[in-house]
């Protein structure tokens, strides 16, 4: 249905764009503008999702329901413990470690043997996994072109004997890519930014492709999620997949644990997460972005599986390729192509990164030690950098060829189909040595050997051999019945344990023996002195570059070390790094470097980045004479170091305390300055208020003084003004003092229980003259039947409030027909006093301002109110002191008259006071 040439074209365009992206990334890196952002890093980690995810998840879901989720649950949970990953990154950066093998070997005394062992396990475990990816590519081609899977290959090429199939072509392209972008630098710790960018690009591509197909299946071929699940529920065979009973918790736990370990231990994950990390803060984004990625890529797995089961119900179909066959059977070319490319991107991403990681291990930890020890006089050649590069590149080709070979020979066998989890199980064996090494100082080399040995052996016997047997390569009797009929040794039922599925079974026994042997042997045997030092460095690392004191004693020659570096790094690179190191130590010329412990360890660390820590140690040891340090000596030095560390922690704590104290002081100071500013404002306002009457007084006094002949009329008028302003001044000063006293709480309150009615009446009578002067009508409304309204207040202070409100009201009533109404009522435990006038009212904008100090309502000269601007603030202070509130309700006259109704006009000042005693509350 799709033209062959078109598929071929799209495939090569896709692979070509990978090269372009990688090239772009490397160019940017070379130009100093790194593309390694936190997002690229997190997407790089999504190399975890291989074609096994892309095709296989749906396959698993068709038989196991939700159980496919465990493979993604584990990594998600593991990323909650980002501290472990952070520690791995810090250790690796400090020691320039480049692979899992290097990491484990470095921790346990830089043992070449251990590094080699880890490498062998990784290669045996991972090569089939690479083969699986190649098979996925081949298989997807076969589905698109059932008649001629090799249709992609031009006829001309098919004639060539060495061009067996299109998968080989893709493998070759991947080898070229990996060599170009994975071995740019000799030093593996130099990043491969282009490669990581390409992998991130593939991650985005496979996610988009998978979600597009999911959306197509759910909404294009069906009527959405709900419809799909309802139809699935209707078919008993399918419905049981969705039942919670289909979950076996033992197996779920095992798979989750296994994949959680794998996300740290898979060589490709170590490569991206640890080696390619440029900035440890990037981890912060990866911690949520990667789990989010896993969530997204899994959303459509079950719906696609269900749709496939429904569509092919009863009929035969290939569960692992549903992603491809569903759009194909509908004749949707675009979706088919997208599915094919998505699978291709998932496969190629994995192959590239895994190959680089494995190639580093194989060349540094298998090939290099043999060459260095061998009879080829290899170690004495002048410049080895080119040769090392050649070795690494050849290794890549060999690894990919092995993967291809395995795919060709194992073909359809069970061994290949089930290899994903079997690979996981293999790398899981690294976990005890690796994590133990990070958190347990006493873990030692023999323990690591023992653990890995037991774990690997059990893995071989219970996982790898059975997969061979199921492929029909060897007799399968030992799996269920045990070798020679010894049922306790049955490969899937060791010791009669038969309640777990084979994967969980292997995980349980291999980790049990691995961990047990690691711990027991570590406790029973002694750690070497040099190992104790590095163990302490691993466990105590606080930040990248953190190092323990240089524990090394011996004699060395600077020339020999420099020579060594030049041979392995190449003269130019060695010169560069030595220069940097020398200037960091304040030494201008390389030749002046002293061959002290620091320099020896610097040289070893630099070499480690190129040939691995174990080989580096061997090479450095060959040119220096190291004196054996006793364990006691090392422990003494370490003890001192930890004392220094404790001391510096103490210092840090003190400095933190000091900082906190400084912060507190600054805050206190700011508060003081704020108070000071408020006070300053207050003083400035008070001064202004005092100066204003003084201005009139002074001006008139001076004029009266200077002009004895002034007319009697003017004289009387001016003297009147002077008297009035002097009174205003006096009032002002009294109120300012009063207010200051109230604010600072220095008032002596004389609280007594009294009845409000007589108090209001008496107070109103005392200001009666004011009303009469202006001809204002005053109405007092008290509760009927003379019921007493008890409150606990200071009599004089309360009178002050009432007088203030009444005299304010008098100021604002109109000169003719002025009316003031004071009323007393009570409700909800409060007495309520209101003073209403028929003046102009107070616009809403002013209703809160009038309670501020020295602020008065009113606009123009004509209605500028008399008074100090302190009466209301003082009254409010007093009312609030007794637990009440004072506020104003006012509608300006215009508003209240509009609809002709009798609305409360003017201003109404209201204050409340809590009623005293329970007996009164009852009313």
List residues near other proteins by CB under 8 A: 684, 687-689, 691-700, 702-703, 706-707, 714, 718, 721, 724-725, 858-862, 864
Nearest distance, CB of residue 722 and other proteins, angstroms: 9
Please name which of 129, 143, 2, 152 lies closest in space to residue 53, comparing C-alpha atoms: 129
Q: 3-class SS at 191?
A: coil
762 CB neighbour count, 10 Å cutoff: 12
3-state secondary structure of 248: coil
Q: Are 630 and 537 in contact (CB under 8 A)?
A: no
Count helices and strands (H / E) in the chain.
41, 9
Task: Give the DSSP letter of residue 244.
Answer: G
Burial group, residue 230, by CB count within 10 angstroms (0-12, 13-18, 19+)? exposed
DSSP letter at 409? H
Which residue, 26 or 725, is less far from other proteins as judged by CB? 725
Residue 616, SS3 per DSSP: helix
Rounded least distance, CB 893 to other proteins, Å: 20
Task: Choose between 150 and 689: whose C-beta lies nearer to other proteins.
Answer: 689
Give whichever of 271 and 868 is closer to other proteins, judged by the CB atom.
868
Do residues 571 and 556 lie in contact, with contact meaning Cβ atoms separated by under 8 Å? no
669 versus 687: smaller Cβ distance to other proteins: 687
Judged by beta carbon, residue 628 or residue 714, the one nearer other proteins is: 714
With CA atoms as reference, report the closest residue to 837 among 819, 861, 825: 819
- Least Å from the CB of residue 197 to other proteins: 59
Nearest by Cα to 621 from 111, 164, 222: 111
| Least distance CB 861 / other proteins (angstroms) | 3
Distance, CA of 724 to CA of 747 (rounded, Å):
29
> Shortest Cβ distance from residue 796 to other proteins (Å)?
32
Beta bridge partners of 555: 625
Taking the least distance from each CB to other proteins, the nearer of 204 and 721 is: 721
* Closer residue to other proteins in complex, CB, 691/753: 691
Helix (H) / strand (E) element for 214: namely: helix 193-215
CA-CA distance, 604 to 614, in Å (whole number)?
A: 10
> 157 vs 710, which CB is nearer to other proteins?
710
| Beta carbon nearer to other proteins, 726 or 921 | 726
Residue number, 294 or 729, with CB nearest to other proteins? 729
Shortest distance in whole angstroms from residue 705 CB to other proteins: 9
- 559/702 with CB nearer other proteins: 702
| Residue 306 and residue 229 in contact, taking contact as beta carbons nearer than 8 Å | yes
CB of 670 to other proteins, least distance (A): 21
Q: How far is the CB of 767 from other proteins (least distance, A)?
A: 25
Dist CA 481 CA 704 (whole Å): 131
C-alpha distances (whole Å) from 446 to each of 190, 364, 520, 616 are 32, 22, 10, 21
- For 232-267, b where at least 16 C-beta lie within 10 A, e where not — what string? beeeeebeebeeeeeebeebbebbbbbbbbbbbbbb
9: number of Cβ within 10 Å: 12
- Output 644 or 683, the one with its CB closest to other proteins: 683
Which are the contacts of 656, defined by CB distance < 8 A and separation ≥ 6? none
Tell me how far, at minimum, the Cβ of 719 lies from other proteins, in Å.
12
Nearest to 548 by CA among 565, 535, 560: 535
Least separation in angstroms between CB 695 and other proteins = 4
> Tokens 């900035």 sit at which residue?
279
- Shortest reach from residue 690's CB to other proteins, in Å: 8
SS (H, E, C) 736-799: HHHHHHHHHCCCCCCEEEEEHHHHHHHHHHHCHHHHHHHCCEEEEECCHHHCCCEEEEEHHHHH
Nearest approach, Cβ of residue 689 and other proteins (Å): 8
State which residue, 580 or 705, has the beta carbon closest to other proteins: 705
The minimum distance between CB 772 and other proteins, in angstroms, equals: 25
The owner of tokens 């899992």 is 100
């Amino acid at each position: 249905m799709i033209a062959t040439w078109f598929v071929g074209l799209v495939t090569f365009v896709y692979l070509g764009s990978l090269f372009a992206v990688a090239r772009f990334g490397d160019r940017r890196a070379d130009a100093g503008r790194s593309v390694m952002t936190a997002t690229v890093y997190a997407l790089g980690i999504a190399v975890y999702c291989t074609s096994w995810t892309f095709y296989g998840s749906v396959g698993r879901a068709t038989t196991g329901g939700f159980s496919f989720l465990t493979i993604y649950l584990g990594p998600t949970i593991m990323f909650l413990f980002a501290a472990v990953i952070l520690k791995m990154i810090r250790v690796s950066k400090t020691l320039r470690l480049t692979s899992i093998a290097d990491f484990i070997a470095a921790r346990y005394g830089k043992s070449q043997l251990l590094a080699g062992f880890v490498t062998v396990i990784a290669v045996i475990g991972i090569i089939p996994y690479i083969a699986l990816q190649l098979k996925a590519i081949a298989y997807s081609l076969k589905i698109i072109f059932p008649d001629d899977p090799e249709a992609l290959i031009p006829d001309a090429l098919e004639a060539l004997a060495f061009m067996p199939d299109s998968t080989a072509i893709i493998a070759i392209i991947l080898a070229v890519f990996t060599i170009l972008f994975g071995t740019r630098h000799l030093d593996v710790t130099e990043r491969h930014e282009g490669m990581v960018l390409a992998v991130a690009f593939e991650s985005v591509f496979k996610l988009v492709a998978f979600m597009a197909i999911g959306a197509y299946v759910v909404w294009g071929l069906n009527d959405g999620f709900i419809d799909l699940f309802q139809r699935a529920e209707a078919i008993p065979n399918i419905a049981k997949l969705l039942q919670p009973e289909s979950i076996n918790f033992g197996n779920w736990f095992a798979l989750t644990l296994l994949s959680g370990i794998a996300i740290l231990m898979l060589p490709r994950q170590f490569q991206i997460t640890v080696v390619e990390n440029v900035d440890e803060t990037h981890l912060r984004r990866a911690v949520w972005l990667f789990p989010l990625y896993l969530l997204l890529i899994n959303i459509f797995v079950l719906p696609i599986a269900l749709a496939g089961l429904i569509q092919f119900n009863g009929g035969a179909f290939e569960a692992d390729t549903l992603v491809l066959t569903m759009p194909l059977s509908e004749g949707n070319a675009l979706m088919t192509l997208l599915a094919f490319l998505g699978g291709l991107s998932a496969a190629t991403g994995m192959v590239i990164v895994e190959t680089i990681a494995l190639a580093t291990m194989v060349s540094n930890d298998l090939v290099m030690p043999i060459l260095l020890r061998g009879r080829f006089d290899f170690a004495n050649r002048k410049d080895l950098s080119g040769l090392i590069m050649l070795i690494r590149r050849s290794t890549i080709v060999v690894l990919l060829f092995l993967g291809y070979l395995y795919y060709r020979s194992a073909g359809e066998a069970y061994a290949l189909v089930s290899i994903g989890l079997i690979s996981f199980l293999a790398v899981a064996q690294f976990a005890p040595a690796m994590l133990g090494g990070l958190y347990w100082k006493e873990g030692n080399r023999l323990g690591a050997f023992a653990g890995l040995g037991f774990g690997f052996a059990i893995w071989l016997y219970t996982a790898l051999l059975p997969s061979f047997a199921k492929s029909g390569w060897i007799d399968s009797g030992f799996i269920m019945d045990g070798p020679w009929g010894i049922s306790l040794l049955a490969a899937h039922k060791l010791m009669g344990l038969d309640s777990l599925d084979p994967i969980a079974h292997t995980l349980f026994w291999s980790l049990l023996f691995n961990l047990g042997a690691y711990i027991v042997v570590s406790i029973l045997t002694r750690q070497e002195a040099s190992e104790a030092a590095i163990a302490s460095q691993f466990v105590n690392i606080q930040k990248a570059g953190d190092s323990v004191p240089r524990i090394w004693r011996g004699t060395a020659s600077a020339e020999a070390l420099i020579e060594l570096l030049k041979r392995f790094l190449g003269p130019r690179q060695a010169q560069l790094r030595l220069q940097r190191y020398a200037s960091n130590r304040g030494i201008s010329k390389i030749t002046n470097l002293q061959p002290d412990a620091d320099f020896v360890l610097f040289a070893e660390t630099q070499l480690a980045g190129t040939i691995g820590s174990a080989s580096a140690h061997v090479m450095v040891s060959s040119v220096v004479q190291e004196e054996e340090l006793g364990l006691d000596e090392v422990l003494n030095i370490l003890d001192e170091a930890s004392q220094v560390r404790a001391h510096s922690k103490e210092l840090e704590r003190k400095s933190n305390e000091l900082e906190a104290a400084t912060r507190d002081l600054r805050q206190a100071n700011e508060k003081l300055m704020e108070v000071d500013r408020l006070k300053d404002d207050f003083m400035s306002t008070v001064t202004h208020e005092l100066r204003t009457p003084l201005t009139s007084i002074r001006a008139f006094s001076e004029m009266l003084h200077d002009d004895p002949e002034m007319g009697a009329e003017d004289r009387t008028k001016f003297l009147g003004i002077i008297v009035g302003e002097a009174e205003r001044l006096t009032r002002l000063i009294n109120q300012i003092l009063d207010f200051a006293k109230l604010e600072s709480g220095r008032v002596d309150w004389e609280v007594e229980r009294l009845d409000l009615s007589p108090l209001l009446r008496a107070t109103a009578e005392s200001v009666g003259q004011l009303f009469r002067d202006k001809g204002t009508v005053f109405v007092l409304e008290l509760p009927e039947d003379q019921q007493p309204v008890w409150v606990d207040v200071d009599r004089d202070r309360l009178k002050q409030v009432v007088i203030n409100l009444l005299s304010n009201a008098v100021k604002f009533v109109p000169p003719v027909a002025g009316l003031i109404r004071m009323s007393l009522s009570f409700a909800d435990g409060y007495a309520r006093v209101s003073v209403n006038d028929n003046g102009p009212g107070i616009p809403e904008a002013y209703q809160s301002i009038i309670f501020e100090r020295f602020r008065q309502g009113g606009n123009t000269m004509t209605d500028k109110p008399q008074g100090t601007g302190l009466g209301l603030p003082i009254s409010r202070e007093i009312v609030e002191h007794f637990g009440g509130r004072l506020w104003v309700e006012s509608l300006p006259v215009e508003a209240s008259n509009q609809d002709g109704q009798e609305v409360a006009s003017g201003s109404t000042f209201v204050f409340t006071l809590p009623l005293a005693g329970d007996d009164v509350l009852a009313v």
